Amino acid sequence: MKIRLGYDIAFETPREVAMVAMLHVHPSRIPDLLEPDALETNAGVVKDEYVDSFGNRCTRLVAPAGELRLRGSTLIEDSGLPDAAGTYAVEHPVGELPTDTLQFLLASRYCEVDLLSPIAHDLFGGIAPGWPRVQAICGWVNWKVEFGYPYARPTKTALEVFTERRGVCRDFQHLAITFCRAMNIPARYATGYLGDIGVPPSDTPMDFSAWFEVYLGDRWWTMDARHNHPRIGRVLMATGRDASDVALTTAFGSATLKKFFVVSDEVNATEVAPA
């Protein structure tokens, strides 16, 4: 399966402002790219790429006063298979976990593990450890939290999602991540492309999506508390402790979003030219 990925984002900046963009496909998917994955900006804007501490590909730049355009388009080869299921994946005792997974057991900006631990143990302590427990967490969050764009709030934390029982995709993932960490299961936030492939098309504009990953059975598994069933055509862009680590753009000054357009569509073998 081939998937056309792309975005066209515009900001208005009253004065020169430094920015960091995290709009590239994750390094783990680079072997699948059929075209370059380049970030295009206004003429004359100097860009500097780097890889952050979580292994994400980032671009830093200084936006001029006026309008800043961020554009990109690429084609990627995908297996066309749904998210893998780790039915028999086991939990690891904390003392046996790889050192680099330990940070994903701790509280973070949007995930108050300490505050939600008693609730997590009450809800999921009696569930069989490993994959069944993570599935139970995803099912509970999907069932108990109502999805709606009007419920979006950039400061909303997992505890607030639990209390309000409303949110958008990132809120579903933050609550599930927090419950997993409270049960000593490493969990990290993920963001990327998730088009309407293999599902009925949505009547809302295409957007980037959020999901999360858990460490069970010596590997990371994709989980999605928002949709709560395997999806086709997921393309990872970045992972981190929570949404604060994987912001699509971070402006160190005033920058007002004026345009936001995202593409993630399956194409046939003859459709290989950029859209």
Asked whether residue 274 carries a pLDDT value surpassing 80, the answer given is no
Extract the tokens encoding 181. Answer: 């960490």
Burial of residue 101, with CB atoms counted within 10 A of its CB: 0-12 exposed, 13-18 middle, 19 or more buried: middle
pLDDT attached to residue 275: 44
| Residue among 176, 186, 215, 221 nearest 86 (CA) | 221
Q: Give CA–CA dist 249/24, Å, rounded.
A: 11
Across the chain, mean pLDDT equals 95
pLDDT attached to residue 183: 98
Numbered ranges of CATH 3.10.620.30 in the chain: 94-245
Give 30-41 pLDDT, tens digit per residue: 999 999 999 999
What number is the average pLDDT over the span 37-51? 94
Q: Please count the other Cβ atoms lying within 10 Å of the Cβ belonging to residue 20.
A: 17
CATH assignment, 2-79+248-266? 2.60.40.2250
Residue 142 to residues 43, 107, 199, 203, Cα–Cα distance (Å): 44, 22, 18, 20
Give 110-169 pLDDT, tens digit per residue: 999 999 999 999 999 999 999 999 999 999 999 999 999 999 999 999 999 999 999 999
Q: How far apart are the first and last CA of the chain?
A: 17
Burial of residue 176, with CB atoms counted within 10 A of its CB: 0-12 exposed, 13-18 middle, 19 or more buried: buried
Class of domain 94-245: alpha beta
If you count them, how many residues does the chain have? Answer: 275
For the chain, state the CA radius of gyration: 19
pLDDT category, 201, cuts 50, 70, 90? confident
Give 213-253 pLDDT, tens digit per residue: 999 999 999 999 999 999 999 999 999 999 999 999 999 99
Q: Give CA–CA dist 270/105, Å, rounded.
A: 45
Are the beta carbons of 171 and 151 closer than 8 angstroms?
A: yes
Neighbouring residues of 179: CB distance < 8 A, sequence distance ≥ 6: 116, 120, 123, 124, 137, 140, 141
Burial of residue 88, with CB atoms counted within 10 A of its CB: 0-12 exposed, 13-18 middle, 19 or more buried: exposed
3-state class of 257 per DSSP? strand
Q: Which of 48-57, 141-150, 165-174, 202-211 has the lowest mean pLDDT?
A: 202-211
Numbered ranges of CATH 2.60.40.2250 in the chain: 2-79+248-266
pLDDT category, 43, cuts 50, 70, 90? confident
What number is the average pLDDT over the span 183-205? 93
Burial of residue 118, with CB atoms counted within 10 A of its CB: 0-12 exposed, 13-18 middle, 19 or more buried: exposed
Q: Phi/psi at 209 (nearest 5 deg)? A: -125, 165
Beta strands in 165-253 (DSSP E): 166-167, 187-194, 209-216, 219-223, 234-240, 249-251
With 0.85 as the threshold, say if the pTM is over it.
yes
Burial of residue 16, with CB atoms counted within 10 A of its CB: 0-12 exposed, 13-18 middle, 19 or more buried: exposed
pLDDT attached to residue 270: 55
Q: Give CA–CA dist 110/128, Å, rounded.
A: 27
Composition of the chain by helix, strand, coil, percent to 5: 25, 35, 40
